[in-house]
């Protein structure tokens, strides 16, 4: 940051030299003071922004879609069954007192229907994400410092968690399991992880 401010000061000084050449001498001192004050304010602004980004806490809540209708094995985009609809409400209750800034889901009925009750309760619009581009730089930047719910599948949910961690910690979720909740918190460059199961009381 000190190097950046120094380089910025040099660049601005060169830029304003033409102006300084015809400024009357009696105003030169005042002009120089204003110039230095401008450099100081710009450096403070950059420093504050960098500090805010460094101390921002980002939390990702990752879940698999709720139970789906399995009556038609040829249906590649089934809806939730009765148990799944109940679980979607369970997630809504779980996140009732947890602040969420955004909710992401793959573009399938079962994931969208899982996210819908929570999105409605939080007055949030469900945003789609591409499971083939997990944890992209654009996603990291847009969600930094926020609390995000991400609804995926038995393979993409643990894969997303692994992408955040930069490891292969979590295997695919077993087909009969819909209760896993992966909580990843990023703070001061460190990642804290937790895997819990959420079931009806």
pLDDT digits (tens, 9 = 90+) for 58-109: 999 999 999 999 999 999 999 999 999 999 999 999 999 999 999 999 999 9
pLDDT digits (tens, 9 = 90+) for 17-26: 555 555 555 4
Stated pTM of the model: 0.75
Please, which residues have CB within 8 angstroms of residue 3's CB and are 6 or more apart in sequence? none
Question: Is 192 in the same domain as 105?
Answer: yes
Are 14 and 67 within one domain? no
- Count of domains forming the chain: 2
| Pair (43, 126) in one structural domain | no
CA distances for 115 relative to 25, 88, 89, 126, 188, angstroms: 67, 7, 9, 7, 29
Short-list 91, 182, 77, 95, CA closest to 135:
182
Could you tell me if 49 and 123 lie in one domain? Answer: no
Same domain, 33 and 74: no
Pairing of strands 102-105, 126-128: parallel
Q: Provide the residue range defining the domain that includes 29.
A: 2-54
Tokens of 191: 């990642």
């Amino acid at each position: 940051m000190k190097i950046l401010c120094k380089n910025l000061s040099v660049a601005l000084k060169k830029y304003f030299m033409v102006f300084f050449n015809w400024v009357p001498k009696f105003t030169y001192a005042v002009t120089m003071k204003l110039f230095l004050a401008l450099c100081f304010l710009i450096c403070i602004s950059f420093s504050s922004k960098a500090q805010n980004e460094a101390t921002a806490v980002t939390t990702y809540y990752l879940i698999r879609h709720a139970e789906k209708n399995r009556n038609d094995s040829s249906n590649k985009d089934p809806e939730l069954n009765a148990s799944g609809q109940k679980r979607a409400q369970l997630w809504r209750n779980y996140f009732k007192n947890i602040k969420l800034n955004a909710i992401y889901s793959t573009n399938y009925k079962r994931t969208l229907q899982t996210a819908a009750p929570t999105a409605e309760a939080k007055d949030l619009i469900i945003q789609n994400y591409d499971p083939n581009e997990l944890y992209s730089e654009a996603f990291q930047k847009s969600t930094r410092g926020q609390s995000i719910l991400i609804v995926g599948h038995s393979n993409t949910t643990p894969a997303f968690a692994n992408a955040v961690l930069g490891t292969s910690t979590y295997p695919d979720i077993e087909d009969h399991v819909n209760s896993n909740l992966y909580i990843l918190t990023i703070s001061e460059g460190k990642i804290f992880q937790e895997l819990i199961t959420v079931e009806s009381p």
